[in-house]
């Protein structure tokens, strides 16, 4: 199922325009306006402002199933270093995760499907804000996404550097990890650096807590249960000759299983408190549960793989890939509606740089492949 040459040209133009004008989470005003305008031009009914800056376009073709197709729209706070002619014009902001490509692919699919008369049912094209750590998927769900636009199933797609162009990959169960954050404040008693015995050295305590936290993964959780616990910040002290009375540790935890996730939270609090206590200090733990794991349902994965198998440009399909320990707020949509999240390979003749790298750029060769998958998925779901 190929995408028309004119639509491919439009997708490239949309993608590069969006790349040049990136917008951060919940600031996707220009992006949402472009999306709404193009959806309306295809004859779709359009709802804006859902989840603050989200957009939903609806294609109705009578009675039949209803499917939701989702793309994310936001950029990242990164200074671009691609040197592309269409590079970001906004200092410190760039599309380093390929959401510009996701928007263009779904718009291309909407344009293609709008001309089709052989469908029976409804397609909701969901353009979501604020995927990058701000929970735009949750915002759309809480704002009534599936109440206003009921779906039998919902699907997400993400470009994936490291997979060859034309490779489609998904799996049953958890495909992306949960994302939680923690902040541990170590409170002690400040003193002169020459007289440490007169105080409680919060930096020593913080150092021991950091090391002790790593035993959670190595010794307290079964090796068959994937967990990544990373300490990413340590702050404390302002002078060479002062032992500070406070130190702060921050980091993230990623899990695939909900029970393991809760257990890790308990262990972080217990280890921080116990380690601090052995030194006469206190540890205050602020543990925040963020994105849940992204969990695919078996039926939806089967549908996604079958649809991908009908696209000539998708040359490899993988249904048993390992999960990623990165996170994705499409998880909130899958909590509210069954569905599947998948990856599409973007590595062409030249291997793509990693996501979130200042030199990353979405491979435009993937645009017709992704749009064709979306079209095939809608056709497969809405067969008369």
* Helices (H) then strands (E): counts for the chain: 10, 17
What are the φ and ψ backbone dihedral angles of 109, each rounded to 5 degrees?
-65, -40
Q: What is the pLDDT of residue 42?
A: 95
Scan for tokens 């954050």, then name that residue: 181
The reply, when asked if residue 23 is annotated as ligand binding, is no
Whether 54 and 195 map to the same domain: the answer is: no
Q: Which pTM does this prediction carry?
A: 0.94
Q: Of 270, 290, 310, which marks where a domain is finished?
A: 290
> How many beta carbons lie within 10 A of that of residue 374, not counting itself?
27
Q: Is 322 exposed, middle or buried (0-12, 13-18, 19+ CB in 10 A)?
A: exposed
Whether 286 and 301 map to the same domain: the answer is: no
Give 350's pLDDT tier (boundaries 50, 70, 90): confident
Q: Which domain holds residue 345?
A: 5-176+293-382
Strands (DSSP E) contained in 280-356 are: 282-289, 294-296, 316-318, 324-327, 339-347
Joined tokens for residue 140: 């759309």
**What is the number of domains present in the chain?**
2
Q: What is the pLDDT of residue 1?
A: 59
Q: Would you say 371 and 108 are in contact if contact means Cβ atoms under 8 Å apart?
A: yes
CATH number, residue 197: 3.30.70.360
Whether 376 and 263 map to the same domain: the answer is: no
Distance CA 105, CA 111 (A): 10
Helix (H, G, I), strand (E, B) or coil at 221: coil
Whether 172 and 321 map to the same domain: the answer is: yes
Whether 304 and 164 map to the same domain: the answer is: yes
> Distances from the Cα of 64 to the Cαs of 118, 121, 168, 200, 382, in angstroms?
12, 4, 27, 68, 7
The reply, when asked if residue 158 is annotated as ligand binding, is yes
pLDDT at 371 over 80: yes
Mean pLDDT of 193-197: 96
Q: Of 290, 320, 336, which marks where a domain is finished?
A: 290
Whether 166 and 312 map to the same domain: the answer is: yes
pLDDT tens-digit map of 217-247: 999 999 999 999 999 999 999 999 999 999 9
Whether 275 and 343 map to the same domain: the answer is: no
The reply, when asked if residue 132 is annotated as ligand binding, is yes
Q: Of 256, 290, 324, which marks where a domain is finished?
A: 290
**DSSP-derived secondary structure letter, 356:** T
CATH number, residue 342: 3.40.630.10
Least Cα distance to 365 among 340, 345, 381, 384 occurs for 345
Least Cα distance to 69 among 52, 49, 44 occurs for 44
> Could you give the count of Cα atoms lying within 13 Å of 77 in the half-sphere of its Cβ?
6
Whether 113 and 19 map to the same domain: the answer is: yes
Joined tokens for residue 213: 């936290």
Whether 42 and 171 map to the same domain: the answer is: yes
Whether 23 and 172 map to the same domain: the answer is: yes
pLDDT tens-digit map of 19-65: 999 999 999 999 999 999 999 999 999 999 999 999 999 999 999 99
Whether 154 and 303 map to the same domain: the answer is: yes
Least Cα distance to 229 among 178, 160, 277 occurs for 178
Whether 160 and 198 map to the same domain: the answer is: no
């Amino acid at each position: 199922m190929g995408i028309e040459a004119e639509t491919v040209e439009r997708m490239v133009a949309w993608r590069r325009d969006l790349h040049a004008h990136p917008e951060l989470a919940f600031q996707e005003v220009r992006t949402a306006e472009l999306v709404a305008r193009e959806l309306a031009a295809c004859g779709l009914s359009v709802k804006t402002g859902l989840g603050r800056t989200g957009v939903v376009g609806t294609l109705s073709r009578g009675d039949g199933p209803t499917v939701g197709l989702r793309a994310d729209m936001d950029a990242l706070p990164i200074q671009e270093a691609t040197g592309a002619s269409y590079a970001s014009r906004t200092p410190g902001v760039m599309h380093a995760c390929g959401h510009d490509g996701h928007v263009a692919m779904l718009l291309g699919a909407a344009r293609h499907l709008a001309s089709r008369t052989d469908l029976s049912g409804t397609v909701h094209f969901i353009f979501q804000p604020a995927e990058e750590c701000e929970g735009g998927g949750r915002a759309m769900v809480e704002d009534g996404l599936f109440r206003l636009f009921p779906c039998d199933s919902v699907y997400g797609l993400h470009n994936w550097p490291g997979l060859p162009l034309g490779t489609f990959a998904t799996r049953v169960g958890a495909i992306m990890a949960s994302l939680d954050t923690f902040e541990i404040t170590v409170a002690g008693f400040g003193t002169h650096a020459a007289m440490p015995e007169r105080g409680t050295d919060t930096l020593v305590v913080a150092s021991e807590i950091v090391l002790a936290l790593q035993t959670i993964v190595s010794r307290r959780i079964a090796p068959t249960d994937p967990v990544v616990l990373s300490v990413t910040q340590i702050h404390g002290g302002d002078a060479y000759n002062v032992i500070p009375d406070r130190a702060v540790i921050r980091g993230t935890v990623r899990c695939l299983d909900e029970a393991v996730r809760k257990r890790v939270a308990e262990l972080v609090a217990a280890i921080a408190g116990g380690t601090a206590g052995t030194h006469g200090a206190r540890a205050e733990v602020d543990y925040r549960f963020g994105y849940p794991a992204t969990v695919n349902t078996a039926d939806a994965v089967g549908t996604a793989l079958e649809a991908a198998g009908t696209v000539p440009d998708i040359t490899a399909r993988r249904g048993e890939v390992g999960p990623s320990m990165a996170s994705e707020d499409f998880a909130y949509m899958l909590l509210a509606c069954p569905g599947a999240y998948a990856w599409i390979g973007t590595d062409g003749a030249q291997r793509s740089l990693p996501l979130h790298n200042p030199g990353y750029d979405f491979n435009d060769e993937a645009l017709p492949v992704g749009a064709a998958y979306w079209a095939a998925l809608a056709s497969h779901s809405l067969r008369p």
